[in-house]
Chain A
Amino acid sequence: MAAPIAKSNLVMLKNAFKYVGLRGISTSRPASAQLTVRDALNSAIDEEMERDERVFILGEEVAQYDGAYKISRGLWKKYGDKRVIDTPITEMGFAGIATGAAMAGLRPICEFMTWNFSMQAIDHVINSAAKTFYMSAGMVNVPIVFRGPNGAAAGVAAQHSQCFGAWYSHCPGLKVIAPYSAEDAKGLLKAAIRDPDPVVCLENEIMYGTAFDVSDEVLSKDFILPIGKAKIERAGKHITLVAFSRAVATCLDAAKELSTIGIEAEVINLRSLRPLDFDTVMESVKKTNHLVSVEHGWPQSGVGAEIVSRMVEGPGFYHLDAPPVRVTGADIPMPYAKTLEDHSLPQGKDVVRVVKKLLNVQ
């Protein structure tokens, strides 16, 4: 299966102009390396731990085992027991401990083996971390990052496949990021670690092994992306597709197929769910007049519900030529059988079908 490569024409153009000045090369693309999402996350954590000795990572299997998904590979060897801590099996316990450490001046990265297990610790994420700055009137600060793989993987069934984008982005006091590409992963996670507020980082297990072309800038130690700013992954003029995390790949697949029949879709990678960059979506819809939100999570009260609501409750309503549509995962606990699982998540062809219907194309 071919791995999707991030191709943002706008970014490439911008970088090309930048390098014209620096190197005097007029046409070559500055993408200098391939970076997997896993390595991007790993280097983000490594660089931030090197830069600030208050940063440390804790979670199940993060130390000698190099992380259940190898995200913390090499870190225990480099930094030792004090900064890479294996925890006993209690999400409630170690999320609370990480929060307390943050309250007392450290900057923990608390890894949940998957976000599904965060449900056992959700009281600490919300009541101890998210709300504390407000409830203490600014006296108690919680500069913590909770991270881990979110959403469906492959063949792990209902209790390991839930998407928590809607739940966490619901809560004020938290920031929520959802990287898609390697560039997103590196820049957003570094920003999250440096951020004084508690941040939830929703990654995706399927994307971990995917390699992306990245520029030198991305590889640098100070590459930060702003939290709360979306990215236009693919420019287009006929319809706007909005997604986050793995659903961005779904939209890019759909866009590729649509372009063969002359429909140019604009794909927006939200990058952050809270704050949600609705301005970018609005500007896009002013151009295309059609909106489709794509997510792998469940339909009711999902992230798409928020996007569509914001579109129709304000001036966006007048830019739409057709009702905005949500393409989501099926409203069932994730089944195990592969055929059933494949049919429970939106694929490129589902988005294509929806787009054609909206644009009244056969």
Chain B
Amino acid sequence: MLPIRLACYGLRSVAANCKRINIGALSQITRKFSSDERPQFPGSRSQWTEKLEFIRPDLYDGIPVYRVMDRKGKVIDPSQDPQLSQEMVIKMYKCMTQLNTMDRILYESQRQGRISFYMTNYGEEGTHIGSAAALDPKDLIFGQYREAGTLMWRGFTLDQFMNQCYGNMEDGGKGKQMPVHYGSKDLNFVTISSPLGTQMPQAVGAAYSYKRAQNGLCVMCYFGEGTSSEGDAHAALNFSATLDCPVIFFCRNNGYAISTPSKEQYRGDGIAGRGPAYGMLTIRVDGNDVFAVYNATAKARQVALNEMRPVLIEAMTYRIGHHSTSDDSTAYRSVDEVRYWDERDHPISRLRNYMLSKGWWGDVQEKEWKENCKRQVMTAFARAEKKLKPNWKEIFTDVYHEMPSHITEQLKQMEEHVQKYAEHYPLKNFSKD
């Protein structure tokens, strides 16, 4: 690489400075460059300048936002239409709408005291489904907490989602986590962990592991623009590049970190502006455009695996819902602002318009699907609510691989105690096995 770059510099110097340089022999060119021609510092060998000029962050326009469709769902440049099959597009639409419906039901259920906590994905469905559809189902996903659509795309059932939220006996997480902390080994989705940003260096480590295994898979790491302020984010982005790891960093820039708007989260050109600084391939996309997200992710995956390097995608979107059931966003933003995004720029509406224009969808299918979807969600919901809680013994499992003696002792003590005072405990609410 180096001799070629110096050779190019040599060619330019010939024109600009009329220096005599033997272009024929590359090795001679490299030898002819003394320390005066180019800085020799180990940290950077860019160029010399005698002009005192600071780089102004505001003069630069910012990395442009890649899109395929306009806000009305019309493809702007037909060459960018990924030409997905009708089946695939309908699947995408159904997945997004089902996610939306499930969100509504579960948010309400928290309000009614049926589950303790919930986080909706309103407005960001496009980022989930567009990206998940472009990955290999075996690619490992590290999420933050607002990526339920990726899991839904991969086949996590409504029952599985609800079981986790209810923490019942069929929850894959055995009732050990708060709602929305999903995980699935089968679907290659690492269990959600609350501390922000910790998933980022973990994703890099996992990608390193995949690189060593040469398994043709990559790692997908989702995070929000707020989380990118965490120290972990810096370490992860930096390391992924220095270690040449096949990881895609996908930032959901939805404008808010609870109440902190993005203009208070950073001063620079968002998260995409940082990518090149870390030495990685970067793109900014319209997160509400499913096809733009799809195209960017597909290309990112190709690069990550073929060139063994990380890629950064910043998907611009808007968080239509509250941060969680513990938040009331009317405290820090206007209802009008929220309505604007809901009505004018929603990933679901834009895809629907695309489908309508192709003649793949109509009012009849919409009505039928809406009813069907609602019914499926409601019946899953009713099922989850009725299920028993996990066996109380699960409190003691999985602390270590092998249950240590002091825990086994406590389990036995509790067993005896529960047996003796059975009538004082609500055992009928808990599974027997």
Query: Are B200 and A173 in touch, CB under 8 angstroms?
Result: no
Known pairs A135-B191, A136-B191; A124 contacts B205 (CB<8 A): no
Known pairs A135-B177, A140-B185; A96 contacts B401 (CB<8 A): no
**Which residue on chain A has the smallest CB distance to residue B172?**
A137
Please name all residues of chain B whose beta carbon is closer than 8 Å to the beta carbon of A104 when the two chains form the complex.
Answer: 140, 205-207, 209-210, 219
Instruction: Kindly state the separation between the CA atoms of A172 and B142 in the bound complex, as whole angstroms.
Output: 24
Query: Are B206 and A140 in touch, CB under 8 angstroms?
Result: no
A133 lies within 8 A of chain B by Cβ: yes
A175 lies within 8 A of chain B by Cβ: yes
How many residues from B make CB contacts under 8 Å with A? 50
Instruction: Kindly state the separation between the CA atoms of A93 and B239 in the bound complex, as whole angstroms.
Output: 8
Instruction: Kindly state the separation between the CA atoms of A78 and B238 in the bound complex, as whole angstroms.
Output: 27
Please name all residues of chain B whose beta carbon is closer than 8 Å to the beta carbon of A92 when the two chains form the complex.
Answer: 201, 231-232, 235
Which one of A83-91, A208-216, A315-323, A352-360 is at the interface?
A: A83-91
A-B contact count (CB 8 A): 148
B100 lies within 8 A of chain A by Cβ: no
Please name all residues of chain B whose beta carbon is closer than 8 Å to the beta carbon of A135 when the two chains form the complex.
Answer: 173, 176-177, 181, 191, 193
Please name all residues of chain A whose beta carbon is closer than 8 Å to the beta carbon of B195 when the two chains form the complex.
Answer: 123, 127-128
Query: Are B176 and A173 in touch, CB under 8 angstroms?
Result: no
- Bits for A128-144, please: 1 = Cβ < 8 Å to B, else 0: 10001111111111000
Query: Are B398 and A133 in touch, CB under 8 angstroms?
Result: yes
How many residues from A make CB contacts under 8 Å with B? 42
Instruction: Kindly state the separation between the CA atoms of A328 and B316 in the bound complex, as whole angstroms.
Output: 56
B52 lies within 8 A of chain A by Cβ: no
Query: Are A103 and B184 in touch, CB under 8 angstroms?
Result: no
Known: A96-B205, A97-B236, A123-B198. 11 other contacts (CB 8 A): A93-B232, A94-B239, A96-B198, A100-B201, A101-B205, A103-B206, A104-B207, A134-B399, A135-B173, A137-B183, A139-B184
Q: What would 21 A/B residue contacts be, using CB atoms closer than 8 Å? A: A88-B235, A90-B231, A93-B231, A96-B235, A97-B202, A97-B204, A100-B207, A101-B205, A101-B206, A103-B190, A128-B195, A134-B399, A135-B177, A136-B183, A137-B173, A137-B183, A137-B394, A137-B398, A139-B183, A139-B191, A275-B405
> 10 nearest interchain CB pairs?
A93-B235, A96-B201, A100-B205, A100-B202, A101-B205, A104-B206, A97-B205, A136-B191, A104-B209, A137-B174
Interface residues of A (CB under 8 A from B): 82, 85, 87-88, 90, 92-106, 108, 123-124, 127-128, 132-141, 172-173, 175, 196-197, 228, 275
